[in-house]
Structure 1
Amino acid sequence: MNYLIYGAGHFGECFHRILVQQNTPVSGWIDQRLANQMKFDLPIFDEQTADRNMNVIIAVTPLVNSNREQIKERLIELGYKNVLGFFEAVQKFPGVFSQYAQLEHLWMRKNHDEMLDNTSIQWLRARLEDNKSKNILDKLCAFRGSLSIDDYPEPDKKVEYYPDDIPFNFQSPIRFIDCGAYTGDTVEAFVELHKKNIISIEHIASFEPDTINFKVLTNTQRELKKQNPEISFQAFPSGVWKCVDLLNFNQGQTSSSNIIQGEVINDSSVSVIDLDSTCQAMDINYIKMDIEGAELAALEGARNLIQTQQPALAICVYHKPKDLWELPQFIDKLQPNYNMYLRVHEHLGLSTVLYCIPKGSH
């Protein structure tokens, strides 16, 4: 039976190449944004007009749309007979991983050696606090070496940045810095935990340089403030860096907008700040960073905060291959008095987060 590929982006292209190599018929694409166009001489449909009787592969990465299960449910409700969810699709066509690695996207590289450093990995494994973290690290490294479905690190489906198996043990209300706030998704999740009395939040300061995302973020915070007047909210239209500066910015990439070093071009520049000079007086006790590869620079700019206030940290370590070991090593040099944990919250090793929890109460 013929296939339709849901998602006409890079990952969809990888599935297309695998299907063609295996002589599996592909009849077209489903993509709401690109409907009525052509790609690889195949028509692009929207959800309403595609043939419900064809097999559908959901080829949407977490960075493009984190609600892939909702997509599957919606397609089934619309009458599609056979829909392969993301994980089902990669299980059926595991060669897609090697195809995707050719794009060298985020941590993936064509050369497997660039994705691993055995000496540093051994250091990190010894530094991690619990067996779950060590097992996750082993799985991540095995997958980087093989790109095999047998070594695939499945996501844990826990609340990102506040999983219930990390011993945060906050002794006072949370004063939170959200670096890479996007549209406020983390803020919303945290406020929901606050409403359920799982955590207590006093203050949230959000940094988001993408102007489109920032507008949504401020609307999100405005609504949350109405419902939760006891929490104070701030939003800054800035990136987070090692110093105050003006840098190039790749804007309009939804959750993947990122800072680019080089000569500043006026129509794509963005202001960046360092946390030491901006947040020193806030008495912060939790910092999250998901800033598309700028984490190391941002940690440099939070050097004094980390050394003196020792906030809990949730740092994404998947944007570059070396982030997995270089960011923990850098943090350890700044402040060795942390317990370190590793968790994977999304498919493809995305949303791999290093949690640094101060030893003792904080």
Structure 2
Amino acid sequence: MNYLIYGAGHFGECFHRILVQQNTPVSGWIDQRLANQMKFDLPIFDEQTADRNMNVIIAVTPLVNSNREQIKERLIELGYKNVLGFFDAVQKFPGVFSQYAQLEHLWMRKNHDEMLDNTSIQWLRGRLKDNKSKIILDKLCAFRASLSIDDYPEPDRKVEYYPDDIPFNFQSPVRFIDCGAYTGDTVEAFVELHTKNIIRLEHIASFEPDTINFQVLTNTQRELKKQNPEISFQAFPSGVWKCVDLLNFNQGQTSSSNIIQGEVINDSSVSVIDLDSTCQAMDINYIKMDIEGAELAALEGARSLIQTQQPVLAICVYHKPKDLWELPQFIDKLQPNYNMYLRVHEHLGLSTVLYCIPKGSY
């Protein structure tokens, strides 16, 4: 029986490559965004028009708390007879992760040795505060070494940037810097925590260089301000870096827009700031960074803030292979008075976050 591949993105291409190598017939794709187009000379259908009797491979990694996790159930309700969920498909067609690694997307590399530094990993393991963090690190490293579903790091289903198994213990209202604010999803999550009396929010400063994302972000904050007048909001249309500068910018209107070093091009340049010169007077006590690989430069630009104010840090460590150990090592040199925790909030090791909590009250 022929296969349809649900999702015409990078993972879909990897499944297609393996099926072709195995001489397994592929009749097309299912992708709501690209319906009625062609890919690799195969038609792209939407969910309503594809043949329900074909085998369907879901080639879309599920996102926690997203409708991606319900794709299989929805297809079955629509009458599809044979649907392989993402993890079932990966087990049936081993090697997909290795195929995906050829793209060298985020932390994945063709050469497994580039994804691990055993000496630094052992240092980090000894530096992590709780046993859960150590288990997560071991799982991440095992998966990097094997790229096998057997070592797959399952995501944590707790609130990203405020998991309840990490002792934040704020003694004063939260004054939050959101680096890589996207369209305000983290801002909304923190305001929800505030309305539930889990935290007390006083101020949020958001940085987002993508102009379209920034427009949505400001609209989001405007609505939140109406409902929560006791919270102050700021939004800056800039990236976060080690200094004030003008840099190239890959503006994709997605959460993966990123800053690129190099010669400035007028129609794709973006202003960047450093937190030390921008936020020194804000008395900040929480900094979150998800800035597509610019985290190290941004931490360099927050050197004084981290050394003197010791804010809680939530730093994404999955954009580059070395981020997993280089970012905690850099933070430790700046300010050793942190307890460090590691959590994974999305599939495929994405949204792997290093939490740094100041020792003692703050």
Which TM-score applies when normalising by structure 2?
A: 0.96
Choose 69-78 or 137-146, whichever is displaced more. Answer: 69-78
Shift of 1:298: 0.2
Tell me: CA distance 1:182–1:77, structure 2 relative to 1, closer, same or farther (3 Å). Answer: farther
Tell me: CA distance 1:194–1:75, structure 2 relative to 1, closer, same or farther (3 Å). Answer: farther
Shift of 1:73: 4.3
Q: Residue deviations 1:65-88, cap 9 Å, x none?
A: 954114444434433334333333
Shift of 1:157: 1.4
Choose 192-201 or 203-212, whichever is displaced more. Answer: 192-201
Is 2:64–2:346's contact at 8 Å kept on the other side of the alignment?
Answer: no
In structure 2, distance between residues paired with 1:134 and 1:64: 22
Q: Residue deviations 1:235-284, cap 9 Å, x none?
A: 11100000000000000151110000000111100000100111111111
Q: Tell me what 2:168 maps to.
A: 168
Shift of 1:63: 8.6
Tell me: CA distance 1:101–1:63, structure 2 relative to 1, closer, same or farther (3 Å). Answer: farther
In structure 2, distance between residues paired with 1:65 and 1:38: 31
Shift of 1:342: 0.5
Q: Residue deviations 1:148-193, cap 9 Å, x none?
A: 1111111111111111111111111111111001111111111111
Q: Residue deviations 1:73-107, cap 9 Å, x none?
A: 44344333343333333233331100000001110
Q: Residue deviations 1:122-169, cap 9 Å, x none?
A: 100100001111111111111111111111111111111111111111
Is 2:63–2:347's contact at 8 Å kept on the other side of the alignment?
Answer: no
In structure 2, distance between residues paired with 1:297 and 1:64: 29
Shift of 1:62: 6.4
In structure 2, distance between residues paired with 1:222 and 1:82: 46
Shift of 1:31: 1.6
> How many residue pairs align between the two structures?
362
SS at match of 2:216: helix
Tell me: CA distance 1:128–1:303, structure 2 relative to 1, closer, same or farther (3 Å). Answer: same
Q: Tell me what 1:350 maps to.
A: 350
Which TM-score applies when normalising by structure 1?
A: 0.96
Q: Tell me what 2:191 maps to.
A: 191
SS at match of 2:356: strand
Choose 242-251 or 73-82, whichever is displaced more. Answer: 73-82
Choose 325-334 or 151-160, whichever is displaced more. Answer: 151-160
Cα-Cα RMSD: 1.8
Shift of 1:64: 13
SS at match of 2:132: helix
Tell me: CA distance 1:197–1:251, structure 2 relative to 1, closer, same or farther (3 Å). Answer: same
Q: Residue deviations 1:29-77, cap 9 Å, x none?
A: 1122221111111101122222223232222346999541144444344
Tell me: CA distance 1:189–1:80, structure 2 relative to 1, closer, same or farther (3 Å). Answer: farther
SS at match of 2:33: coil
Is 1:18–1:93's contact at 8 Å kept on the other side of the alignment?
Answer: yes
In structure 1, distance between residues paired with 2:207 and 2:73: 33
Choose 6-15 or 48-57, whichever is displaced more. Answer: 48-57
Choose 346-355 or 77-86, whichever is displaced more. Answer: 77-86
Q: Residue deviations 1:298-322, cap 9 Å, x none?
A: 0000000000100000000000000
In structure 2, distance between residues paired with 1:361 and 1:310: 11
Tell me: CA distance 1:190–1:356, structure 2 relative to 1, closer, same or farther (3 Å). Answer: same
Choose 113-122 or 214-223, whichever is displaced more. Answer: 214-223
Is 1:62–1:350's contact at 8 Å kept on the other side of the alignment?
Answer: no
Shift of 1:234: 1.1
Tell me: CA distance 1:319–1:219, structure 2 relative to 1, closer, same or farther (3 Å). Answer: same
Choose 237-246 or 61-70, whichever is displaced more. Answer: 61-70
Is 1:68–1:86's contact at 8 Å kept on the other side of the alignment?
Answer: no
In structure 2, distance between residues paired with 1:303 and 1:323: 17
Is 1:179–1:287's contact at 8 Å kept on the other side of the alignment?
Answer: yes
Q: Residue deviations 1:207-239, cap 9 Å, x none?
A: 111111111111111111122222111111100
Is 2:303–2:334's contact at 8 Å kept on the other side of the alignment?
Answer: yes
Choose 89-98 or 69-78, whichever is displaced more. Answer: 69-78
SS at match of 1:119: helix
Is 1:4–1:56's contact at 8 Å kept on the other side of the alignment?
Answer: yes
In structure 1, distance between residues paired with 2:66 and 2:11: 14
Is 2:64–2:347's contact at 8 Å kept on the other side of the alignment?
Answer: no
Is 1:180–1:207's contact at 8 Å kept on the other side of the alignment?
Answer: yes
Identity %: 96
Q: Tell me what 1:132 maps to.
A: 132
